[in-house]
Structure 1
Amino acid sequence: MIEGILNIVYGLIASAVFVGLGYLYGRYKERKKKGQPLENYPFYPFSLDDKKMLQFDFDLFNEGVAHLLKKRDYQAGPQLILIGEQNNIRHVYKPSQLKNYEKLYKIYNGDQVLDESLQFLENYKRIVRLIGDSFPDCGIEILLHNLSNPSKALYHIKNNVTGRNVEAPATNLVMDLKRRDTNKEDKLNYELNIGSRRFKCTTIPIYKDKMGIVGAICINVDYNFLNEEVRNNPKLIDKFLDTLCKVDMKLDENILSKNEYEKALKGKRHFRDVSEHL
C-alpha cells in the first residue's frame, strides 16, 4: 500500500520536474528568440553622407549579414531582411555575396517576414478604399505602398490621377521617409511639379512594431484640375461639391459634443455659424 503511494508520489514529482524543465527551456528559447532592435547594433545599415543625409550603407549591411549568420537575433535578423528587400539588395549583390544573404533569409524565414508585412497592410488597404470611395471623381488620389518590396510598391490605388498601376515602383520613397523620420519631419502638404502637371501631396508612413517602416499612405491632389478646371467652371464646382456632399445612407447618431449638440438643437447650422440666437 505504502509502496504504491510512494510510486504515485514519485511519479507526480517526476512529472512536475519534467514540466518545470520544459517550461524553463521554453522560456530560455523565447528569450533567445526575442533579441534586440537592429538599431542597437553598430552595423545598422544607414549612415550620413557629407550633406548629413541618411543613406543605405552597403558595407554595414554586409557586416550585419555576417554577424547575424554567426550570432542569431530573431528581432534584428528579420529587420535586416526587410531593409535589404526595401533597398533591392538582390539586384545590388554579386552572386557570391547573394549566397550569404540567402542563408540569412532562410534562417530568419524571410518569406514569412515579407508575408507578415503584407498581412499587416491589409487593414490599411481597406482604409484607403473607404476613404477613396468617400471622395470619388474629385481629383483626389489616395494610394497604399507596400515598402517591403519597393520595386513593386504600389499595393492599392483609388481615384487614379497619376496614371500609375498596381505594382508600380517607389524606389526612393523608403530612403526619403527614413531621412524624415531621423530628422523628425512630416512629409505633409508638399508640392510636386512634373512637366505641366502640378500636385499637392501628403505621405503618411506606416510603422510595424519591431520592424520599422513597412508601408505608406499617399494623398495626391491634382492641383491643376481643381484650380484651372473646377474653379473656373460653375457646373464643375457644383458637381465637385455635390460629389463631396453625396451620401449613401442616413443614420441616427450624435457625433457632437454636449455643448455643440445643444447649439444644434437651437439652430446652429455649421461649425462657423455664430448667429446671435445661439
Structure 2
Amino acid sequence: MIGCQVSLIRTVGDRFLLRRSDITNWYMLKFHLWSRRFVTGVSAVPSSISLHYIRFLNAFIRTGLGTALYCLVHFLLVIIVGCEYLILFPYEQQVRPSFLIPLYYTIGAYLIVCILFHYQKACSVDPGRPEFSNEEPLCISCGYHKPEGAHHCSLCGRCVLYMDHHCVWINQCVGLNNHRYFLQFVIYVWFSQCFILTANYTAFWEHFYSVNRLSVIPYCAQHLSLAPWRGLLCSLMPNLLSSYICFVYGLAALLFIILGMFAAWNMSAFEHEMGMTLPLWELVFRYLHLKIFP
C-alpha cells in the first residue's frame, strides 16, 4: 500500500528506488493518488502499478518534458532578443542619451553569448559519476561506490557526484562537473533581467497604457531612425506590439524575482529536502535577533 506520505519505494527485483528528493515525480505521484482517491474513494494503489507509473514519469520527464523545455528556453530567448533589438532599443533612443543605445546593443550581445554558452555547457557536460568500486558505502540502487556528497538520481538512473538537483530545464542533473556552468547560466540570466528592467522601463510603461487603446501604438506613432523595419512590424502585427512588449517586460520581472528568491534561499534542493541548513534570510534574521536580544 502506498499513501501520500510514502518516502521510499523499493522492489527487490530491479532495486528500483524513489526518494522524496525527486521532487517532480513525488508531487506528480501525490496528484495521481489524490485524483484516484477523489474519483474512486480508494487511497491505496498496488505497488506494481505505482512502479510502472513512476517509470513512465521518469521516461516522460527525460525524453518528453526535458526536450520540450530545452526548446522552450531557446524559443523564449528568440522572443526576448527579437523584442529588444527590433522594438525596445530603437524606441528607447527617444529618451536616452545617444551614446547609451550602442552600449545597450553591445551589452545585450555579450549577455546573449554568455547565456547560450553556459546553458549549452550545463546541458552537455556530464555532471560526474563515481567510479565502480566495491568500497563501502555502496548505493543500494545502482551498486556503485557512493562517496560523500554523491546521491542517486532515479531520473538519470545513476549516482551523481556532489549532486545538487535534477534540473528539467537542462534535462540532466547538476553535479560536480557542470555546477559552475549552471550557476553562471543562472547568474547571467539574472543580470540580463536586471538590464532589461532598467533599460526598457520607459517603453514598457508607455505601451502598457496603450494595450486597451489599440489605435494608438507608441512604437508605430514615432519615427525611429534605428528601426527601418518599423513599417513592416506595424503592418504585420500592430495589435500585438503592445502586448508583446508587456509580455517580455513581465517575463523579465518574473525571472528577476524567482532567481532572486533562489539566491536568497541559499540552499540546494537536496539540502532543502533533508533540512541540512537554513535559508539565507533566516540566518540573517536569527543573527540580528541574537544581536538585538542576546
TM-score normalized by structure 1? Answer: 0.24
TM-score by length of 2: 0.23
- The structure, 1 or 2, with the larger RCO (C-alpha pairs under 8 Å, 6+ apart) is 2
**Which has more radius of gyration?**
1
Which is helix-richer, 1 or 2? Answer: 2
Q: Which has the higher strand share?
A: 1
